[in-house]
Amino acid sequence: MKDNKKLILKVLCGSHAHGLASKSSDYDYRGVYVQPTSEILSLGHKYKANDWVEGEEDNTAYEIGHFLHLATKCNPTIMEVFKAPVKYANEDGVKLRSLFPDIWDSKRCYDAFTGYGLNQRKKFLDKKDNRQDKYACAYARTLYHLVELLTKGDFEVKIPDGEIKDTLMKFKKGKYLMGDVINFCEEWHQKAKEALERCKEKHTDLEKVNMFLLNIRKKYW
């Protein structure tokens, strides 16, 4: 069967979006596409949740249903898609991004972001693939974004110039002691706990998100 999937959104992610890129940094893109509903409902159809192409540019794209499922779980890499620099968006991609206030959930974000951070911490401590500097930076950056989100109800993917960015760049360049990373991240983890306690409890509007998906399924029959 012919592949008729329709790309509705593509954003720049990774270090270039974070403002932490070096000359050797790859370009990472994430996208969202829609598989026609008639194909999804066709006999024998095998649903493919995402596509990934690695090369000079790393491109990962998610089918809209899978993307929204991950979004309602507040997956940090998915949350970035709502806020990262746009490379392409049709009207449905724009509408998808506007769903962010209805997507995020305070407790789920706390659990998902800290869980992702701890995963980066393990890779950092294990010196996985000899890329511990990358994981140190990702561990710290994730906690910073979490505190910003819980404090403001929103976050900027790009790290602003200042002390935090300088610290993250030191981590990324390997200019640190292991204790520096652990202490910094423990401090920001505590800030995240306090931000969660202070912020007004916020829940995902599942009805609104599901209605958006149903309308997409009808439109892209």
Q: 98-111 pLDDT, tens per residue? A: 999 999 999 999 99
Q: How far apart are the first and last CA of the chain?
A: 15
Integer Cα distance of 5 and 98 in angstroms: 22
pLDDT digits (tens, 9 = 90+) for 192-212: 999 999 999 999 999 999 999
Percent of the chain clearing pLDDT 90 (strictly above) = 82
Q: Contact 113/74 with Cβ under 8 angstroms?
A: yes
Long-range contacts of 151-154 (CB under 8 A, 24+ apart): 151/195, 151/198, 151/199, 153/101, 153/199, 153/202, 154/83, 154/100
Beta bridge partners of 171: none
Q: What is the pTM of this model?
A: 0.90
Nearest by Cα to 187 from 179, 198, 197, 199: 179
pLDDT digits (tens, 9 = 90+) for 8-38: 999 999 999 999 988 777 888 999 999 998 8
Hunting for tokens 């390997």 — which residue is that?
174
Residue 207's alpha-carbon distances to 34, 99, 173, 210, 213, in angstroms, are 20, 12, 44, 5, 10
Lowest-confidence pick of 10-24, 68-82, 107-121: 10-24
Q: Contact 71/102 with Cβ under 8 angstroms?
A: no
The angle at the Cα of 114, spanning 112 to 119, to the nearest 5 degrees, equals 95
Nearest by Cα to 81 from 57, 60, 111: 60
Residue-level pLDDT at 56: 53
Instruction: Report the 10 Å Cβ neighbour count for 72.
Output: 19
Integer Cα distance of 25 and 14 in angstroms: 9
Give the HSE-up count for residue 199: Cα atoms under 13 Å, Cβ half-sphere.
23
Structural domains of the chain sorted by starting position, each given as residue range(s) with its CATH number in brackets? 6-99+205-219 (3.30.460), 106-198 (no CATH)
- Whether the CA torsion 121, 132, 82, 91 is positive or negative: it is negative
| Full DSSP string of 68-103 | HHHHHTT-HHHHHHTTSPEEEE-HHHHHHHHTHHHH
